[in-house]
Structure 1
Amino acid sequence: MTEAAPIVDYGFHNEAVSHTHAYLYPAVKAALHAHAGGRKLFELGCGNGSMAADLAALGYHVAGVDPAASGIAIARANFPQCQLEIGSTEEDLVARFGQFDVLVSLEVAEHVFSPHRYAEAIAELLIPGGIAILSTPYHSYLKNLAMAATGKLDNHFTALWEGGHIKFWSRSTLGTLMARAGFEEIRFDRVGRIPALAKSMVATYRKKGD
């Protein structure tokens, strides 16, 4: 019998925002203002809670989970206004937290072992018509060609990072995953650098009504 894959703790040390915050947060905020209804928001993969705190400051009632114990300890100590707990998509999150109007999951999809379960959990957590805002590193033919031409492929697709990126998404593949889970894309942003060489993409989906 094989052992379950170990949970990787990314070793959060403080409550500071991630380096990705500068280009992810404006796109997430714009998507929320343009498309989100209701005030209940769930963050799937909340890390140290810094993004959850910024979302709560927008007026949302925020709950969330992350498998990293170090991150949740920091989050609970610094952002008590948010309900942030250790957890993952491998459990029944709806039984613990209920359903939400909005779900945000940033720079998580590239780490998941089961994309199907990830998308299924997002669908379970959202009410019909609910909004999911996801970000993940952006990939396209042109960007991959540019990385190959500049000798950056080994650095970008490194296999040496413990718990690193194991899925590499394009707009098309992420859209297919979410469509299979009952979502339709309603917004798409490429952020960080110029669009063709964007660092990440921020895709907004609406859960189709039952």
Structure 2
Amino acid sequence: CELVTGPLGMVDTGFVVDNAQRVATAYVSDTTQPHRLAEGETVSSFEGAVGITYSPARIFDVEAFPSGGAGMAGTARDLLYLLEALRQGGGALLPDALIEEMGRDQTHGLELPNAPGFGFGLGFSVLRDPRLADSPESPGTWRWGGAYGHAWFVDRARGLSVVAFTNTLYEGMSGRFVADLRDAVYGALGEAQ
């Protein structure tokens, strides 16, 4: 097995990979151009913040703690499979009532620093006010990403699940790329209508 397999057809998602050729090289967005992420390199997500020390080799360590927030690997296909199951509902993965609760803003309207118009659901951000967020997405859109450079959003009102894997931290998670991708998707939808 190349990856430890997960549930529901997510055959390429797990906490350990035994085939290094299946793992993309990680890069760090930098001022002039991205550079390859070094083992043990500490990278700050924004100016003035304490950095996080990364271990690209961790995914090959069968003894590493299986942390879903800091140690899972998978493919865009698998992540899209999961997001589509959640977007469509119908009880195939979770009861609809639980999916609705996951997508409800749990912050009771509190404004989040540096994220106007957004709140948090159970596991991802939730768009409360597209105008404040300067976003073409529908209210209630779910969004998240990972430090190694993936981003995704689910706009249930528009029937969209979008996944992008860039392997460049932090640009692929929260940089200009993410907004450009979003704008390109909604721009294409606007042209099609």
Same fold (TM over 0.5): no
TM-score bucket (shorter structure): under 0.3
Q: When you count helix as a share of all residues, which structure comes out higher? A: 1
- TM-score (norm: length of structure 2): 0.26
Higher relative contact order (CA 8 A, sep 6+): 1
Larger radius of gyration: 2
